[in-house]
Each structure stands twice: as structure tokens, then as C-alpha cells.
Amino acid sequence: MPIKKKPQLRKQDPYLQREKDRYSHALPSREFILQILKEQGIPVNEQTLRNLLQITEDETGIFDRRLSAMLREGQIMRNRKGDICVVEKLDLIKGRVQGHPDGFGFLIPDDAKGDVFLSAKEMHKVLHGDHVIVRETGLDRRGRREGVIVEVLERGIAQLVGRLHEDHGILFVEAENKRISQDILIPREESMHAKAGQVVTVEIIQQPSKHAQPIGRIIEVLGDYAAPGMEIEIALRKHDLPHRFPPEVGKLSAKFPDEVQRRELKKREDVRHLPLVTIDGETARDFDDAVYCERDGKGYKLYVAIADVSHYVGHGDALDREAFNRGNSVYFPRRVIPMLPEVLSNGLCSLNPQVDRLCMVCEMGLDGAGNFSGYRFFPAVMHSHARLTYTKVAAMLENPKGEDAGQYGALLPHIQLLHKLFKVLLKARKKRGAIDFETVETQMVFNDQGKIERIIPIKRNDAHRLIEECMLAANVCASDFLQKHKQPTLYRIHEGPTPEKLVALRDFLKEFGVQLGGGNQPSAKDYARTLTKIKDRPDAQLLQTVMLRSLSQAVYSPENVGHFGLAYESYTHFTSPIRRYPDLLIHRAIKAVLNGGVYSPGGWHELGVHCSQTERRADDASRDVEAWLKCYYMQEKIGECFDGVISGVTGFGLFVALDGIYVEGLVHISELPRDYFHFDAAKHMLLGERTSRRYRLGDRIQVKLVRVDLETSKIDFVLAK
């Protein structure tokens, strides 16, 4: 049947041309449908809406699909009569459900205009992560906005990981994610013969409703809860981390040769004669970067060679899609979930010693004060002359006549020159005013059973800092290069303190007689000066911690607002494309500029949000694993007393970090001496009403270990005295 002539009304659609560009047959745009609905002033019957828009019989099917999409996204909804309503006219709120372990929850609105409390009764209808529409009903007894769920737009969880339990013959799974407080019922025939107590992966086959619990089927039996490595298997599924490469990635990976091919050297500079070396930790298996330095008059010429991942991972191919999904490699104790398959991450893209590798080189000229005199980027082929470690390089620098220096005698002068340049860059860093917080990184030492034997601090030496400064230099040049050529990109941005956090910080420091310069807009240099002034004080750790917490988290964004902590006006990530997706994008952008073009991977803002989210996801998963391992480690120490420092103060108690063990636990407020304790967030303190006894961030304290809960990864202390 031929399509009827469109009425005049359809021509009034302000987005008509966009719809024509997108579709072979243009329907009224979503915006125009909403406009027509609003103009009616009342809910509209679907047939009436079709008539208003003169939808033809041939258009009915695709128009219904458009309405369904608008329903799913919460732009419109149907009332009890089936009439179509505009959601924003109903004073309804769209948002994502955030569950709480105690059964209640909150709606996090899409427009970020303040959370809405959801009672346990309302949470019975949904799961954490669901996208819903809520009607605000008033205030609860604590003065919070409260709401009821009107409609579920989209379910947020299709699978979850948890422990199987059996009670009076009924099987159910308790989710590992404690924000999901509802148990998932498992029909006996859907249990895969899993045993109570085992860890399983569950697929939700019936979502929760007002009158029914969620029902699931077990699709994977992971094994016993305390089995070696189980904590990682749980974290992978709990945080929805991709950890198996899809078949299409395997097929593409199988086509790669074992070594660099001669034809790949065309249009590349040959820097195999340069004694480039990699310097990494003892356990590292993927080597992103190699360095070399030589004298250039009174200054220096620094070469930073980075694995040319973009040569092997093409925009939009199977490898690229999976690298995007992962966002980054995830590092757990004793296990790595790589962003790229091993044939690349540990093979062709790893700058292994004594083999040819394709790379992107940043060649930088620096004067005697560490200022850039110039730089250039170019694709090259390199040959790593040695795989060095931080420990060996530190030993070579400390004892030029020692065993390590003798083993790498030919490279020693180059390493020593790198160290001289490092000292120059370090002075430039201090002059620039970069913030240098002193933090303690730790490493877990495991026994043969895969459990922690002890936890030791990692001592940063000059070799660590040398490589760090070289990478910072290359990243700054990459950012400057792309900015000068007006190539859109992802910057690594770090904003300074918000006005609210700045006021709280100044008030806190004032109590200790400490001032932070810079007025309403302090710079990194102001922070650095204050840190220098307080470094020898007995309360330096406390003051540094509060200063650190006043700053925001670094993220990826196409909007260049600079990097506050490093005191750079422009900064990006170029040096780790094996393990970070943003670095791979930067390489492609640099290549595009070198070839006279522009790289356009899609929405840069969306890419920045995604990469920031995958970074946080990896951090959360790693923290979960470390917390569980520490709990397992502390099980045998129940009843023992420890010295420690208050590392966090909340309204419900004190977090205490133990000296020499690097484990943190909670002293609940009910375990403090008999009194009413009030939480002062600005002063990071709990203060007793009757006794005036105070417990403040940074105070030293002695505690006794009384409880370790593996299921929740919580460690509980009481005061030892």
C-alpha cells in the first residue's frame, strides 16, 4: 500500500531533517511527539496520538517501536487506562536504584538533583542497579525525600555471583554484592547440583516484584569459598569485569607472527643502535616503555620508546572492541587480567630484551634546568638492550663497582646519565610546585597455599622516580603536541579542591596553626609549600592526609582543565598502551596528526567517562580482593593486641590502620568508652559529650582484634585498654 501524503503538521517537526538523514522513512521525532503530547494538556489515547500525527497504516509498526523505546527510556509512560503521559508532567523522577546492605535503598536521579529514599518495602520490587521511575511521596522521619516506585524501565542485573545456601530444603543464593539484599531463589532443577556453601554464578530468570522474590538458575559453579584464587573469581563477576577473550579475538590473535616482519619496517626510523633499556619491577611481564639518554651540548636528549600497540590493534576491530570494554588491565595479587591477549601484551607489544619491536618514540631535548627545548614523535623499530629492574638500577647507581654494575658495564654510563637528568627533572618538578604526597605502597608475600604470609612495604628508590619522571616528560609532550595541532583527545585531568572542601580544609589547618596560601584558588605550589613546612612535625601524617582528601580524583576528559597535582597545564597518558585504552587512543591521534589527518573515534566525552569508569571498576575489584586476603590473613590473630593509627573517622566509629601489618579495621562507636560520641566531619573527630574525650584522624591507638568476617571482608577491633 503506498504511503499517504504527509500532513502539514509533520512538516512543523523541528527535527524533521535529522530524521530524514538518519532513516529512509522519517517518522515524527521523539522531541516532536513529546511536544504534541504536552500541547494536549492531558494524557492521550494511543489512537488519538496516531491521528494527531497522521500516522499511516504502513507507519503503525515502526511508530509503535518508537513509542516502546520512549517508554523504555522513561520519556513517556502509560497510566492505568493505557493512555500515554509525559513523565516530566507527572512530577515523576527517573533514576538508578542504589541498594543498601540493610535492605533499604536510594534513587540516584538521572538529573543529579538529590537522592530519594526507598524503603525496604519498595526495594523488594527491584534490585540494585535497576533503572526506574519514582513518585516522591514526602519526607521520611529523618527529613529525607522519600518515594515509591512507579515503573521499572530497565533491569540493571542479569547475572550475579554469590554463595549457595539451603534452608529447610529451599535453595537460595546470597549475592556477594551486599547492595543486593534480596536472596535469589534457585529451583532444584536449576541448581547444576551445586552444594550449599559453594560460590556460584546465577542468571536471573524472574526479576523481583511486589509479591515475589527474584528467581535464578545457576550457570556456573566456581567452587569452595576459601579455595585459593576464589577471591579473584568472585571479584571478576561481582564487578562485571571481562576476563575471557571472545572467539573473534582469538581468531585475530592467531594471525599475528611471532616476531616483527621486514615489511613492517617501512616508513619507520631505525633506532636499534640506541642502547634503549626497560626498567620495571621484578614480577613485570609486559614492558610498555624503554628509555635512553645522551648529552646534547649542555643539555640532554631523552628518548622514550613506547610499544606501538596501535599498529596491531586497528580501530573498530575485535581486539579494539574488547580493549575498549576492558578499558585497562586489572592487577590482582598473583594474577593479571590483561587488556590485550598474551600474544600482544607479553609478546609483540612487549619491549622484551634482545628482540626487534615496533614502537612510537618521543625524542625530547631538555636544557640544563630541565626545560624542553623541543620534541618530536615518530614511529620506529627498536631493540631493547636489557631488561633491568628497579632494584638492579638502584644498586648500579649506589655502587658503580658492584656486581650489578659489572654485569651491565656497557650500559652503566647511560644509566648514570639518566640519573643526572632525573635530578634535573626533580628540581624542575619542585620549582613547578607539583604535589608530592608521601604514601606507603605495600606488597603481599604469599605461601605455597596461595595465602598471605606477610605484608611488606614497597620502598621507592631513585630508579622508580627516574622512570616516573621520564614518563611524565613524554606524556606532557604528547599532550602539547595534540593541543598544538588542534587534535581532539583525552586529557588526564585533575581538578583542585572545590570551594566547600577548601573552606573545610582551611578551618581544619587553622586549628593546628597551619596556613594554606593561594586565597580562593590555591595552586599545587601552595599545597607543596605547606607540605614542606609540616613534613617534620609529629602530626605531619594527619595534616597530609586531610590535604590529600581535599582533592578530587583524576579522570579522563576531552576538556583540558590541567592536572592540579602534577602542576601541569596540559597532561595526557601516552606511555602505557598495553594496559590502558586511553593511551592507545593517544597513539592513534598522534599518528593521525603525523599523517596529516584527524583521528575521530566517536564521542570523546563518552570515551572519557567510560575509561574513567573502567579505571574505578578495576580499583574497586582490586580493593575487594586485597580486603578478603587480609581478612583471611588476620583470622589466626584474633585476640591479639596491636598498635595503630586512626586512619578514618565516621559517624559509626573509627578505622584503625595497624603498624607494620598494613591492615585496617573498625572500632565501632559502641565499643568506645561509655558516653555519647558526636561526629565532627570538619575536624575528622569523634567527641565525647560527657567526658570530652576525643578520637581524631591520625591519633595513635592500641586495639585488640575480636572478629574477622570473610563474607563481608570486615575486621573488627575493640580498644585494648
The 10s digit of each residue's pLDDT in 339-366 is 999 999 999 999 999 999 999 999 999 9
For residues 439-450, b (16+ Cβ closer than 10 Å) or e, as one string? eeeeebeeeeee
Q: What is the per-residue pLDDT across 126-150, written as a single tens digit (0 to 9) for each?
A: 999 999 988 888 887 888 888 888 8
Check if the beta carbon of residue 434 is closer than 8 Å to that of residue 564: no
Q: How far apart are CA 643 and CA 702, in angstroms?
A: 4
Mean pLDDT of 575-599: 97
DSSP strand pairing (555-557 vs 387-389): unpaired
Mean pLDDT of 646-655: 92
H-state helical runs in 496-558: 499-510, 524-534, 540-549
- Between CA 159 and CA 164, with CA 163 as vertex, the angle to 5 degrees is 95
379, HSE (Cβ side, Cα atoms, 13 Å): 19
Percentage of the chain with pLDDT > 70? 99
Band (pLDDT 50/70/90 cuts) for residue 6 is very low
Give domain limits for the chain.
Answer: 8-88, 91-154, 159-225, 247-428+440-478, 638-719
Give the DSSP H or E segment for 423: helix 412-432
Is the model's pLDDT at 325 over the cut of 90? yes
Task: Give the architecture-level CATH label for domain 8-88.
Answer: Orthogonal Bundle (1.10)
Q: What is the per-residue pLDDT across 261-276, written as a single tens digit (0 to 9) for each?
A: 999 999 999 999 999 9
Please give the full DSSP string across 692-716, using - where no structure is assigned. --EEETT-EEEEEEEEEETTTTEEE
- CATH number listed for the domain at residues 159-225: 2.40.50.700
- Is CATH 3.40.50.1000 correct for 91-154? no
Q: How far apart are CA 717 and CA 55, in angstroms?
A: 69
Residue 522 confidence (pLDDT)? 92
Check if the beta carbon of residue 717 is closer than 8 Å to that of residue 656: yes
Percentage of the chain with pLDDT > 90? 67
Residue 450 confidence (pLDDT)? 73
Check if the beta carbon of residue 592 is closer than 8 Å to that of residue 214: no
Tally Cβ neighbours within 10 Å of residue 262.
Answer: 7
Residue 78 confidence (pLDDT)? 83
Check if the beta carbon of residue 291 is closer than 8 Å to that of residue 575: no
Q: What is the per-residue pLDDT across 548-576, written as a single tens digit (0 to 9) for each?
A: 889 989 999 999 999 999 999 999 999 99
Mean pLDDT of 112-124: 89
Check if the beta carbon of residue 434 is closer than 8 Å to that of residue 565: yes
Give the DSSP H or E segment for 294: strand 289-296
Mean pLDDT of 489-510: 92
Task: Let me know if the fold of 8-88 is the same as that of 91-154.
Answer: no
User: What SS3 class is residue 67?
Assistant: helix
Task: Give the architecture-level CATH label for domain 638-719.
Answer: Beta Barrel (2.40)
Residue 43 confidence (pLDDT)? 84
Higher pLDDT, 536 or 273: 273
Q: What is the per-residue pLDDT across 84-109, written as a single tens digit (0 to 9) for each?
A: 888 777 778 889 999 999 999 999 99
Residue 612 confidence (pLDDT)? 97
Band (pLDDT 50/70/90 cuts) for residue 283 is confident
Q: How far apart are CA 258 and CA 47, in angstroms?
A: 64
Phi, psi of 393 (to 5 degrees): -65, -40
Is the model's pLDDT at 2 over the cut of 60? no
Residue 255 confidence (pLDDT)? 93
Band (pLDDT 50/70/90 cuts) for residue 599 is very high
Q: What is the per-residue pLDDT across 654-679, written as a single tens digit (0 to 9) for each?
A: 999 999 888 999 999 999 988 899 99
